[in-house]
Structures are given as structure tokens and as C-alpha cells.
Structure 1
Amino acid sequence: MRILLSTYGSRGDVEPLAALGAALQAHGVEARVSAPADAEFAALLARAGVPLAPAFAPVREWAKEMINRSRSASPEDRARLISGQAAEIVARQYEALSAAAEGCDAVVAFGLFPSCAAARLVAEQRSMRYMLGTFCPIWLPSPHNRPHEYPGHPLPPGVTDNRLLWEMDIRTKNGLFGEAINGKRASLGLPPVQNVRDYVYGNPVLLACDPTLGPWLPSDLIDAVQTGAFTLPDERPLPDALEAFLGAGPAPVYVGFGSISVESEAGRAAIEAIRAKGLRTVLAQGWAELGPVDDGDDCLAVGEVNQQALFGRVAAVIHHGGAGTTVAAARAGAPQVIVPQIGDQPYWARRAAELGIGVTHDGPLPTAQSLSEALETALAPATRARAAAAAGRIRVDGAEVAARLLIELLGQSGR
């Protein structure tokens, strides 16, 4: 059996598929991952021993360009930008995935909606089995949560019926992505689909997040199979400079915003807030390329490092609320201060606060004062005790559970 795992996104989208690909291979399945061919992702997949089939373009520069183009645009202009980019992604990713799917029996798609649409089209054209996967419950239709609000398509004020809002979400996705998907279908000689959301989602959906952090409440609007987060075991040692820094004093506070291009002031605010507590800082440079504010010996800037080895040795983790960082900190028992920016990050921030294992920062632009107040709660003994207790409830077998599930579901004929 051969399975293509597809995504177009940042590290938080690629690393889980490396874990799933490795788990599938351990069961004798030939798995490959189609993902952006950025050097960091190529190295990540090589470490996992999973072949890389490049997506239509590297993602880092593409993401920066999209952010810059949308920053000063009106909601209507951003909606047009999304629709225009969707057409490009569907067309180009269809070609990339057509090549990547050669010889495969099934495709499992994660990441951007247009990329998943391209995967669905390839599966349809090749009579391959198909399944959608997602890393957060909020993306799935449910009476228990509201749909995501897109630029130019605001949710109507005062409407609290989530079922009605999810019906409206069908129209929203048709408006944003329908032309791109049906345009590509027309070029392939296929009839249009009237509901692009449900066409791309399929049923059931693979929900790859931890049930303690992101519980799925059963929904009659879609069937989701929750497996736990996909975690790639990481045995890499920490860099010598980081080991020396950790050993030279009390546990520091980790600061990192991953693939989010936050302003440099966010890093400065974090360092100032941490210093005010008499603590040291490990500053992850990330895509924002953050750096120390001076040559003080209480702050060490690092590149990409083994979070599994590091987070158990820090006093707290300040981050953006990406699904991967949230589960890594929770698994390590590290209290969290989450400064959510986009997408599902507000959800993970809220869940950390609800569980009492972290603090949600109010707004995306932190100051030294706001982070100092948040750290006061995160560093409290009660928060650390709850974080330590929750760590034991975080599942570590999500990729293995998903691999067995996919073999069972996608190995069935007639799907």
C-alpha cells in the first residue's frame, strides 16, 4: 500500500506528517510527503526517513509576500487576494501532486484549503482514496463552535446559532474558493461542484490533535476521528552553547514565535519582561529573525532546536500558540504564555487558559508590561503544578493511532 501525505504550510504542518509518514512506514506502508521544499523541511523529512515530493513552491518567502500584500489591504481586497492565490495554488499544486501521487493508492491532505482541494482533485482523477486531515477542532463543522471568519465575509453580528453559521460557511468557501476549484475542474473536463467545502472535507476527517488540549465533541455535521497529535520523536542533543547556558543558572524562559513574522518589538518586550522577573531568556530566532537587544549574558539566541529536550528545562514558554508548540510545552509540563496571532492560535491560547496551564495574552502586540503581568500568573506555583499534572495526560501515540486507522480505512475497497 502506498499513501501520499500532502500539506502546504509551515513547520507546524510538515513535522506532524513526518511523524505520520514514519509511523506508516513502520507498518510496511510506502509513505511519502508532499510539502514545501524549504531546506528546513527537507532536512526534517530526511531525519524522519520519509521521502519528500516537493509541493508547488517553497513556503517561507511565499508566506512573507502574502503577509506584506495583505497588511494594508481592505477586507474586500484581502478576500480578492485569497481568491486569486487560491486559483494559483489549486492549479500549481494539482500539477505537483499529480507527479507526487504516481503509484499511490491514497492521499491524505492537510494544510491550506486550496492545497487540499488540489489533492482531492488528483484523487478523483486517479480514482485514489482520499481523506482530509486537520490539526484543530475549530476548522470542522460543529454545533459546539463557530466557523472561522474570513476577510470580506464577516459572521453576522448577533447570530448565535452555530448550525446556521456553518451553513453560511458553505457560501463563504464557495465565494472564496469556488471559482478556483471549479475552474480547474472545467479544465479537466469535470462538472462543477455546488459545495466546495464538503467536497474538499469529505467524511470522515482525521483530527490530529491531543484530546486533552483540543477535545472533539461529537457533531452530526461531520464525522471526525481524533487520534492525538502527531509527534516526531526527537533524539537530537541540544547545541553546546545552549547546554552551557542552561547549566550556568536557573531555568530560563523560552521565547519563540515560530513561523509567525512578529515585529522585533515583541522579542524586546519579552526580554524586558523576563529580566524584570530576574530570569534569563532563551530566544528562538524563528522566521521573524528575533535577536538579543544587547550583549547581556542573560539572553541566548538560538535557531531551530529540539523542543522536546528543551521545554522540560525552562521555567515557562512564551509563544504564538501554534498547535505543535502548544502540545510540546504541555507535554513537557512547562507553563505557557500564549500571544496568539492568526488562525487556530486563539483557540490554543484559550484552551491553555481554561486548563490552567497557561495564560492568554490580550492582543497580538505584547509590551513589557503586558508580558510581565502574564508571566506573574504563568510562573505561579499553582500554574506549574497544573501544567505538570496535565503533562501526564498528553498522548504521545497519535501518529501510531492514525497510521493504524489509515491502513484500516484506506485499505478498504470501494472508498
Structure 2
Amino acid sequence: MKFLAVTCGTEGDTRPMAALCRALMDAGHDVRLLADASTLHFADGLGLSTRALAGDIRDALKDIRLSDTPFVLTALANDHANEWLDVILDEAPRCDAIIVSGLTAFVGLSAGEVTGIKIIGAMLIPLTPTRAFGMPFFPIALPKFLNPLSHTLLNNLVWATMRKATNIARKLHGLPPRGITVWSGHPMAYGVSPALLPRPPDYPANAWHTGQWVPPRGGYSPPADLTAFLEAGEKPIYVGFGSMAGFDPTLLHKVVVGAVGERRAIFSRGWSTVDTASLPPNIFLIDSVPHDWLLPHCAMAVHHGGSGTTHSTCAAGIPSIILSFGFDQSFWARHMVELGIADEVLDVHVVTRDQLFAAIAFADGPVAQEKARALGEAMRKEDGLSVAVELIEGIART
């Protein structure tokens, strides 16, 4: 079968989609991935057929205030809605299904209407309304009876911010404008671990938690200096904020370095612009190392709480200390507290060195360590890619 996968987001969005595409290829299918150019290097390394979408998400997020990130991402999607729809329609002929994700979801769903090709949603954040938990983008926990309302409110809000640009693109391709109703009814595959977050019993039949989509590590060999550092002493603390940009560049020194103290640590630079020149010798700097290789060598992870990093940390069987920047990150932070793996939800905007020091001490304790170890064992038994491939094949055949 032939599949077209479309996404636009940071590397945390593109990498799992690339892993899913590679798994579909390995199952014998023809797959093409459309994504942001600044995130396609990993997909190219997996041997995928790719095409860059208009726009540059990394450049758009550079040198902005963190609070402006949602507006910048919305503007990126709106500015390129028609171009993205053009590219999808150009690539779609003879496809058995279009897999849509991230900022491209609305134009991808519109492409399905133009072509009549089946649409499959693929997300890393569970957005299907449920009573089991609130909309992950909602900043606070709500009483359980309000959880479905939080999904409705946020889904409608996202659609409201992108409706005008999407409808302009739809009109240019002969589709009627879409009103206030958010799309529903299409199948949704979530790259979410059922051990970490069980599939809610009130989900519709066409929504699944498949397990994490972990990119294949292949024959990864760590650099000699990283191996030497890991072998030189006790397991280090991992520190990394992924594709988060636009935050206070003194955060690392003001909070993290102070809380880590003289303990061994690894700092993953990611997309951050923090000054790393004056890192103390007990903190080792890295650029890009596969999480599934590195994290099992660490004692715990201090990170931003993105879905992918949270999953990888939990799968490694080590505690997460989440400094939430926004988006769905506070949702995962609250879930870590519910699971007993963390004792407090921390906000990167106001966190103090003492709070982070206390969180590290809790993560060192037997309760967090044992709960993290047990969760990791359960997650490592899952095969999210195989489950997702089987689901997608079944949908495409019907």
C-alpha cells in the first residue's frame, strides 16, 4: 500500500512520525513523509522519502519570548495553509491513506475531502474527549466531570484560531467553508503508552493508545568521550529541554547547575540558546544522542515534559523531574505526581533552585525509583510501532 504522512512541528513531533513511516516501510509499504525542513534530517537518515513543507519552525521559534510560542506556531500554520494543502494534494494521488499530525491536521483533513482518500490522525498527545483526564493543553487539573468540557473548549479554540486560513485554502480548492464544528469521526492513533496512560474506557472505537513510536537506534555508537564520562563514576542526572527555545538563557546556571551541585550530569543542548561555555566540569555537554540508548545510563532526567521525552524517560525506568514550559507539559508533570514518580509539579517560569534540589532528592528516594523501575518494565514490553502499523493497515484496507 501507499501512504502519505504529513506533520509540522519540532523534532519531538517529526521523529516519532519518521519512526512510524520507517515501520510502515519495513512492513512492505510505500511511504512519503512531508514535514518541516529543519526536522527532516533524522527522517532522511532513516532512508525515508521526504519533502519539505513551506516555513521554518526552528527559525520561527528563535529569539522569541516563550509566551509567544503558541501565537508563532499558529501564525506559521495559517501563513502556509494553502501551500501545505497544495503540496499534500500534489503528493496524494494513488495513496491508500493520508496520515496527518500536528499543525498540518486541518489542511490534511481538508485534503481528504478533496480527494476522497482515507484520513488517519496520528498524534503524540491524546486529544480525544474523555472523562478520564482533561485536555492535556489545559493548564490546570479540573474536577473529573469537567474533563470533557476542557477538551471541547480547547479543541474549539484551536480551530477558531486556524479556521479563517483553513477555509481560505479550502475555497481555493473547491471546498465549502467549515463552520465552528471541529472534525471528528476519523480514526486516531496515539503514540501513547497504555502502561503510562491507559486508554480511557469512554473512548470511541476508532481511537487507540498504541504505545510509543520509538525511532530505531540502528548501530548507534556513542562518542568515546561520552562513554568515558559514563564509565567514570555514578550514573549522572540527564538535563535537557529538547526543542524548547525562547526561555531565560540564565536558567541553566541560575537553577539547574545550582541544584545539581557537584553531582555528575549530562546536559543535552537541543534547540536552546543557553550559555554552555561556563559549565562546570561535572556537567558533560552533548548535542544529539538517542534517548533509548542514553537514559538507561542515567539516574533521573530533568526535562521539559514533552510527550516523547516523558515516554522515553519512563521507558528507561528512571524518574522524571519536569520543568514545564507550557503546552501539554504540565499534564505529563501532573501525571508523574499521580504515579508517585514525582512529588511536585514545577513551572520553569518560577522554579527555584531549592525546589529543584528537593525534586532531585525525591527522585533519589526508594519510592520514586521503584515506581519508575516498574513502569519502565511494563513499557518495554510494548511494541507501539507494530500495533500502529497493524491498525493503519487495517484502516487502509476497509
Q: How does 1:213-224 map to 2 (within 5 A)?
A: 213-219=196-202, 223-224=206-207
Contact 2:137–2:331 (8 Å) recurs in 1 = no
- Say which of 107, 113, 117 aligns to 2:106: 117
**Residue type matched to 1:94 in 2?**
L
Q: Is residue 2:131 matched to residue 1:143? A: yes
Q: Deviations over 1:189-240 (max 9, x none)?
A: 2212224522xx4432112200122222133678412211111121412221
Counterpart residue type for residue 63 of structure 1: L
Determine the structure 2 residue equivalent to 1:372.
357
Task: Tell whether the 8 Å contact from 1:213 to 1:348 is kept in structure 2 after alignment.
Answer: no
CA distance in 1, matches of 2:136, 2:340: 25
Determine the C-alpha separation between the residues in 2 that align with 1:10 and 1:360.
Answer: 27
> Which runs of no fewer than 5 residues in structure 2 stay unpaired?
none
Could you tell me how far apart the structure 2 residues matched to 1:360 and 1:167 are?
28
Amino acid at match of 2:10: S
Structure 1's 211 and 221: CA in aligned 2 closer, same or farther, altered over 3 A? closer
CA contact (8 A) 1:361 1:371 kept: no
Q: Write out per-residue CA displacement over residues 272-324 of structure 1, whole angstroms, 9 at most, x where no aligned residue.
A: 2111xx41111111111334463632111110112212111111110000111
Q: 1:97 aligns with which of 88, 96, 99?
A: 88
Q: What's the counterpart of residue 75 of structure 1?
A: none
Q: Residue 349 of structure 1 corresponds to which residue in structure 2? A: 333
- 1:23-70: CA deviations, max 9, x gaps? 1112211112111111xx3331123222112122232112336x4496
- 1:15-414 equivalences under 5 Å are 15-38=15-38, 41-64=39-62, 67-68=64-65, 71=68, 84-112=75-103, 115-137=104-126, 139-147=127-135, 161-169=146-154, 171-198=156-183, 201-219=184-202, 223-234=206-217, 235-261=219-245, 262-268=247-253, 269-275=255-261, 278-292=262-276, 294=278, 296-365=280-349, 366-394=351-379, 395-412=381-398
Partner secondary structure for residue 200 of structure 2: coil
**1:236 is aligned with what amino acid?**
Y
Taking the aligned partners of 1:209 and 1:290, their CA distance within structure 2 comes to 30
- Pick which of 5-14 and 121-130 moved more: 121-130
SS in 1 for 2:318: coil
TM-score normalised to the size of structure 1?
Answer: 0.86
Hey, what's the Cα distance between the residues in 1 that align with 2:153 and 2:281? 54
Q: Tell whether the 8 Å contact from 2:242 to 2:271 is kept in structure 1 after alignment.
A: yes
Amino acid at match of 2:298: V
Give SS of 1:339's match.
Answer: strand
Distance 2:47 2:82 in 1: 29
Residue type of the partner of 2:58? R
- TM normalised by structure 2 equals 0.89
Contact 1:231 1:396 survives alignment (8 Å): no
Aligned partners of 1:283 and 1:290 also within 8 Å = no
Deviation digits for residues 117-161 of structure 1 (CA, Å, limit 9, x no counterpart): 111122222221111122122x221233334668xxx99x99953
Report the secondary structure of 2:346's partner residue. coil
Residue 103 of structure 1: how far off its partner (Å): 3.9
Question: CA contact under 8 A between 1:173 and 1:196: conserved in structure 2?
Answer: no
Q: Partner of 1:32: helix, strand, or coil?
A: strand
Q: Secondary structure at the match of 1:279?
A: coil
Distance 2:287 2:303 in 1: 15
Cα deviation, residue 173, structure 1: 4.1
SS at match of 1:232: coil
Call closer, same or farther: CA 1:230–1:166 in 2, change over 3 Å: closer
- Cα 1:398/1:265, change in 2 over 3 Å: same
Change (3 A) 1:219 1:256: same
Structure 2: distance between partners of 1:85 and 1:215: 33
- TM-aligned CA deviation for residue 375 of structure 1: 0.5
Q: Secondary structure at the match of 1:357?
A: coil
- Number of paired residues? 392
Q: 1:12, 1:246 → 2: CA distance?
A: 25
Stretches of 4+ aligned residues off by more than 6 angstroms: none
Q: Which amino acid aligns with 1:305?
A: V
In structure 2, C-alpha distance between the alignment counterparts of 1:272 and 1:404, rounded to whole Å: 47
Mapped partners of 1:130, 1:282: distance in 2:
41
Structure 1 residue runs without a partner (length 5+): 73-77
